[in-house]
Amino acid sequence: MRQKNLHIKTTMAFLMIAMLSATVLMGSAALEISVNPTSGMPDDSIEVTGTDFAASSPVGIGIGVEVNT
């Protein structure tokens, strides 16, 4: 019985450490969007690039006073 309790406690401790590690690693990912050039005239072309996003992540880009900078 003591052996079983020790095994359960060890397994739970391992799972908790694994979950904490995964959370820290996910939280440290630096999502970034860059716009080049940062200003221009109507009809100018711009390049928008992003890093550290998953391949199918939806990203919204807005233009105007509603955008927080």
pLDDT of residue 27: 57
**10: which DSSP letter?**
H
- pTM equals 0.42
Query: How does DSSP classify residue 41?
Result: -
Question: How many angstroms separate the CA atoms of 11 and 4, rounded?
Answer: 11
pLDDT averages per 10-residue partition of the chain, 69 residues: 80 76 62 85 86 79 65
Give the C-alpha distances (Å, rounded to integers) separating 18 from 7, 27, 41.
16, 14, 50
- Compute and round to an integer the Cα radius of gyration of the chain: 23
